[in-house]
Amino acid sequence: MGYRRCGILAALLCILSFSATAQMVVRVTGGSIEGAAANGITSFKGIPFAAPPVGELRWKKPQPVVAWSGTKKATAYGAACMQDPAMLRFTSAPEDVSEDCLYLNVWTPAKAATDRLPVMVWIYGGGFAAGATSSSTYEGTRLAEKGVVVVSVAYRIGPFGFLAHPELSKESGKGSGNYGLQDMIAGLEWVKANVAAFGGDPRNVTIFGESAGGIAVSMLGASPAAKGLFAKAISESGGNFAPPRHTNEGGQNVPTLAVAAKFGADFLAKLGAQSLADARKLSSEQIQKALPPGLGGGFWPVADGDVLPGDQFVLYSQGKFNDTPVLIGTNSDEGALFVRGAVAPAEYEKQIRDGYGEGADKILAANPHATDADAATAAKNIFRDSAFAWPTWAWARLQSSKGKGPAYVYYYDHRTPQSPSGATHAAELTYVFRNLGTLPAVGGDSANSKPRPEDVAMSDLVSSYWTNFAKTGDPNGTGLPKWPAFTESAQNVMVLDEHSSARPIPNGAQLKALEDYYAWRRSQSPHQH
């Protein structure tokens, strides 16, 4: 069967039957788009969800999409948002960057709009400085085969997404620096308005992301602007529950508005911009060239008092959050990607004492570091725990004690010949998306290696848990190891390894030491944002 075109009014109510080579036309905000179908999945790529954030729209919240006439071909990804193009090589994404980048993609297995399938909206990682929806790891076909509509949303990164400045705060009247988060919210608003045309259920949307994307998922959980835009949340190696950063406190990444605005003003001065108007006249290439290569640059979401109202730990403790079921977790050897080479015990101890103040003694005691080998392991683990595992643990405890939605927590420890010491950062991504053999989102683990039977089995397990959760708010299903909800009194996590099962949290002692540290930090500045 070929394809038939829906009239504008009928398009929202019909999805076209298709053959293995059919196209499909759907009406969305802004106009008509035509996707392509193959093997039961119809994909639409490069759909604009906001106006290009260029010229006067640079450093503003996303504006309504510019309408188009005729039918737009939606068969190629949009360009990645401005970043060091070299970073895109690590994710096997095209090295095509542009400031005009607010596009999203949809993969749907639906046969009719009335299917009302659960929707999973992907937010990529990359340290808020890199990342793209066009990575082969994030290709949504295989995940959509499990009965969900998959959407991936681009968002501005680096100074384009997270530059705060006193003039920008004055211009908005509400603080500045969170344009990337506002892009995600605009993408979710687009999903709410349009996903029914693709056979998705706008009332059953799960946001999911990894690393910076997982941190962003947690931020959306605390943002009043995201209220009602999602029903469930999955965070892989993410979470934002440390207090805001005032100086260089250990394990604290989100700056206060004052800190971020000074950083932004210094950056524009470095560019030679005398005013905001001058800065908006600079080319995107001039701005990008002022940054160090890779993930450097130092731009991050801001505790602006608006999109991010304040310290998430405090907000959740007060019940001020978007209460949904959550599925969250971390990997066993996350720090291996970030801490490499030898570490001397004295060097490790100095770093901990310099960064962690009154919490240093307990952290040092919980992480043995007497030898060079021990110190290297301790350095990797403090990175894992402060950046990823403690925020996840804090989130699980707050969600399970303050919310109605349950928390399901995992500890991913699937080992491969490439990573015999544990699962590295982002190692789970190719398993979740069922794209084994593609390059993981930060390079390394399963790159160019032929999947083993145990890899295929792990991919089927985690993708089943994730899609079950998206469908019902509970990852459990027939034939899967039982995954109990996490509670303060029964802190079991699903350990995903060769004998996947629910067990006590493996790095509990290290997390408790960090808990005491963060409580001390919070006591130093309880009312500051």
**Active-site annotation, residues:** 211, 334, 425
CA triple 369-370-371, angle to 5 deg: 95
Q: 């629910």: which residue's tokens?
A: 502
What is the crossing angle of helices 212-222 and 179-194, to 10°? 70
Nearest alpha carbon to residue 275 among 171, 172, 181: 171
Q: How far apart are CA 503 and CA 462, in angstroms?
A: 17
Determine phi and psi for 337, rounding to 5 degrees: -70, -30
- What is the Cα–Cα distance from 255 to 302, expressed in whole angstroms? 5
Residue type, position 407, single letter: A
Q: What is the DSSP string of 230-299?
A: -SEEEEES----SPPBSSS-TT---BBHHHHHHHHHHHHHHTT-SSHHHHHHS-HHHHHHTSPSTTTT--
Q: Give 179's contacts (C-beta < 8 A, 6+ positions apart).
A: 53, 59, 60, 61, 62, 156, 160, 161, 162, 163
* Centroid of chain to Cα 233: 11
Phi, psi of 322 (to 5 degrees): -85, 100
3-state helix, strand, coil in the chain (%, to 5): 40, 20, 45
Q: Which of 382, 402, 409, 407 is nearest to 514 (CA)?
A: 382
Distance CA 176, CA 108 (A): 36
**Cα angle for residues 43, 47, 50 (degrees, 5° grid):** 155
Other beta carbons within 10 angstroms of residue 81's beta carbon come to 29
Beta bridge partners, 151, equal 106, 121
116: left (phi over 0), alpha (psi -120 to 50) or beta: left
What residue ranges in 85-135 does DSSP mark as E strands? 97-98, 103-108, 117-123
Question: Could you please report the per-residue DSSP string of 37-55?
Answer: EETTEEEEEEEE-S----G
Q: How far, in Å, are 63, 218, 324, 390 from residue 253 at the CA level?
A: 28, 14, 25, 13
Query: Nearest to residue 322, comparing CAs of 187, 213, 190, 185?
Result: 185
CB atoms within 10 A of CB 455: 18
Pairing of strands 492-496, 407-412: parallel
